[in-house]
Amino acid sequence: MSNWKIPPDGGHLDKPSGIYLQNMTWKEVEQRLKDNDIIIIPVGATEAHGPHACLGEDTFLVCRMAEAVAQRTGCTVAQPVWYGSHPYHHVGMPGTIIVPEEIFCGQLKAIMAGLWNMGFRKQILLNGHGQEYVIPTAIHQFAKTFQVPGIFINLNWYHAIQEHFKTKDQGGPYETPFIHADEVETSWSLALFPEYIHMEDVVDTVPRGYLPDGHIDKAGNLLHRAIAWYGQVGCGPMEIAAYKPGVVGKAGAAKAEKAIPGVIALLDYMVKLHDDIKKTFPPGKLPPTEEVTMRPKEEIEAVIKGPFAPGGRSIYSLHWPF
């Protein structure tokens, strides 16, 4: 196992530790870009996670992951996106703030454009919530709108280390499969930010669907079933009707030690992803423009230079509004 401190020294959102973009001066940003122009954008949500877990659980998960990787690699982390998109069965649940898909995609596109314009042209959108079917749409909309070279990746943390979500009958540590605010998610939260989890208040619920088990997948589609969890409506109850506590599963079975091997594997993977990007495209280097955009050469070269360089232009000169 790699040498990671678990739980990590987190909580950098309001500290001048050189991790978060918004906590840096422009002078510091300019120096950072010379050394490392990769940025991680934690994309979370504000959502009911039971009486035992904070409403920002999805966001804190990806923030603590990103912070640890930034400390190890020297990349930058953007302050998180706190409000996310949600599937239909989340509608009406108190504690859950739902952003319509078109607004959510528009916000992500705007964030990506602004980061690209300032020089962060390798972007990892680290998703911590059940919106993995929406974020790729935003990335492709951004690409179609601006057609600028760069690396734009949607990483859903639970997809990077799928083997670490096995249940006991599969040789894994968990009694139940990953769903929501349950044994798995609470175990990961205990490993990454135990100060926000109150196990004395935990409640369990029994997940259920209307069809026989085996058709519809669960969170992250980690069971590889025929129908993705977000590929249906009506095959199970809404949260507000069936899971009023905000828990879908056996949260009481959560323990940090169940998640720690997965946390370590995930952080190792994220460092590898970062290092592979940086090795392939060192600071300032981009994918070949003649292969990744149809814009005229002189137009794309001007925006690559940036708005402050002689002959340079802003990304917004390509398209506004968007």
Q: What is the mean pLDDT of residues 151-174?
A: 97
Q: What is the mean pLDDT of residues 15-29?
A: 97
Domains and CATH numbers, the chain: 21-317 (3.40.50.10310)
Residue 217 has pLDDT above 60, yes or no: yes
Q: What is the mean pLDDT of residues 292-320?
A: 96
Q: What is the mean pLDDT of residues 14-32?
A: 97
Residue 171 has pLDDT above 90, yes or no: yes
Residue 2 has pLDDT above 80, yes or no: no
Residue 1 has pLDDT above 60, yes or no: no
Q: What is the mean pLDDT of residues 147-159?
A: 98
Predicted TM-score (pTM) of the model is 0.97
Q: What is the 3-state secondary structure (H, E, C) of 230-269?
A: CCCCCCCCCHHHHCCCCCECCHHHCCHHHHHHHHHHHHHH
